[in-house]
Chains A and B, each alone.
Chain A
Amino acid sequence: MTFLSFNHHKDLPLDKDPGTRFLPWLIAFMVYLAALAVIATSIMQSISARWEMGVSDTLTVQIPPQKGMQQDQKQIEASLEILRAHPAVVLAAPVGKARVLELLEPWLGDAASLSDMPLPHLIDVTVRQDVPMDGQALIEQLNKVAPGATLDDHRVWLDRLIQMSRTLEWGAYLVLGLIATVSIGTVFFVTKTGLAIHHDVIEVLHLIGAQDSYIARQFAEHALYMGFRGGLLGLAVAGPTFGGFAYLYHQVDRALLPQIDITALQWVAVLSLPFLSALMGYLTARSAVLNSLKKMI
């Protein structure tokens, strides 16, 4: 990794340290994981938002199929009448058979082979959030005109999904925190090792009048370059991984998972990881060296 070299006078031969060889690779790995965690967090946020927006104010009524089409139609119309009369209902519309077959396709296969199967009739119901609704009373009313009708309140499972999504989101934040901690710890110990290895040179620099900041700057700049190189490498590897995930996601997207929108800010967060890892390296190394040098007279 010889790219990104800067023309500086380096009094300390830090490039040849054993720690220097593995540090960029380790940071690359950490940035790779961090990029995945940032993207995972973004996906979780996006999914939560979509679910919340799209499903939180909807219900589905299922009416089991009867012996004849006419009877089914009667039950559907009677149910629609009850639903539309309810003050909490904004919209009640039957779901066409083609759409039902489309929804079942991922689980039961080709729609053509399902066309003869008796399928329940579905009614999509949009409700007002601000008007209370007694689900039990409504289902009792519906059962009078359509025996066996059920009401799926999406809010129950939606709450669970959102809860799970938020837990995963916090898990991703925790992973990011751990990655940052491990990275800081690694840079700290590599710097401490460097201080021990170059103790004699540092002592000479100190005795000829170098300020602590002069010595610390050399370690800090070195860590900055290592952090940036590692960050770029990690990001370069993360790119194809995102591509692979996106491809796999789109294979199941339409049927099961909502569309994911990663905002510009989230992309900026991912692209800033090399800069953040460089900054983290710089500040950690500088702080470690300054603290150590304080012990010298």
Chain B
Amino acid sequence: MVIVKLENVGLRYGVGPEILRDVSLTLEEGSFHFLTGPSGAGKSSLLKLMYLANRPTRGLISLFGSDIATTDRTKLPALRREVGVVFQEFRLLDHLSTFDNVALPMRVANVHEKDIKKHVTELLAWVGLKDHMGARPTTLSGGQQQRVALARAVITRPRLLLADEPTGNVDDKLAVRLLHLLEELNKLGTTIVMATHNEGLVRQFGHPRICIDGGRVEQMGPLRGPRRGNVRMEGKIS
């Protein structure tokens, strides 16, 4: 099944230049892709389109088979709940505890508090933060914050997980550990797109890449190792 489909997508902010140009790609269910490219290439902008933070200025985007342009605004939150996002800088809510940060997507989805407690506790144990449930994000290390952000992104078992440079502020050891966690999720069926600058990780884990430069899709396929997942890209290649 196609999870994300972009056709001739263009994006510009205000009257500025086009950040993304003629991007066309299809992500199949269960795929794992690295999103790579230099700073300012449009990686975050592409992810923002996928997690419905922005609308494209042209072209078509469909998520889980729903055309975003024609989907009623009141139905978009339900689509967003199918997408987990690990934001750049994590964007944890400092006034909430670790537990409440992770519980947030479930509360938003109106899940019963009893179920929230059970699932959040289990997940925090899985990411090794069971002893930090009451801690505020500001008291956690970068690696711990990263895991809280990941737990928040996956607590509702999203079909698509988008991670925007989640390893940017952590050392290589933690980055590798995060990748292993993502691979475990991927094995459970979650489609994953992870933006990264870390070429070492891309080589080590060998997933197909979506390479962006100057707003255009530039390259595809793994940098090394067997190709996992299935991506078709028709963007202009410079």
Contacts and interface: CB of A to CB of B under 8 A. Distances in A.
Contact of B77 (A11, A13, A211): A211
B53 to A, nearest CB: 6
B77 A209 contact: yes
Given A11-B93, A13-B95, A207-B80, A297 B105 contact: no
Interface string B44-61: 000000011111000000
Interface string B69-107: 000011011111100010100010101100010001101
A247 interface: no
B140 interface: no
B108 interface: yes
Interface residues of A, number: 18
B78 A200 contact: no
Given A207-B53, A209-B77, A297-B76, A11 B109 contact: no
Contacts of B52: 207, 297
A252 interface: no
Interface string A10-27: 010100100000000000
Interface residues of B, number: 26
A209 B105 contact: yes
B51 A210 contact: no
Contacts of A209: 77-81, 105, 108-109
Contacts of B100: 9, 11
B104 to A, nearest CB: 6
A205 B80 contact: no
Interface in A1-59: 9, 11, 13, 16
A293 to B, nearest CB: 10
B19 to A, nearest CB: 16
A208 interface: yes
A210 B93 contact: no
Nearest to A293: B73
Contacts of B79: 209
Interface in A183-213: 200-201, 203-211
A11 B53 contact: no
A207 B104 contact: no
Contact of B108 (A201, A214, A294): A214
A33 to B, nearest CB: 35
Interface string A53-86: 0000000000000000000000000000000000
Given A11-B96, A200-B91, A208 B108 contact: yes
Contacts of A211: 74, 77, 108
A208 B101 CA distance: 11
Interface in A240-278: none
Contacts of B107: 9, 11
A207 B104 CA distance: 11
Contacts of A205: 104, 108
Nearest to B96: A11
B46 to A, nearest CB: 15
B107 to A, nearest CB: 6
Chain B CB within 10 A, most for which of A207, A211, A294:
A207
A194 to B, nearest CB: 14
Contacts of A9: 100, 107
Contacts of A201: 93
B85 A207 contact: yes
Nearest to A205: B108
A201 B95 CA distance: 10
A206 B51 CA distance: 11
B54 A210 contact: no
Contacts of A16: 95
14 contacts: A11-B104, A201-B93, A203-B53, A204-B93, A205-B108, A208-B80, A208-B85, A208-B104, A208-B105, A208-B108, A208-B152, A211-B74, A211-B77, A297-B52
List the 6 closest A-B pairs by CB distance, nearest first: A209-B81, A209-B80, A13-B95, A210-B108, A209-B77, A208-B105
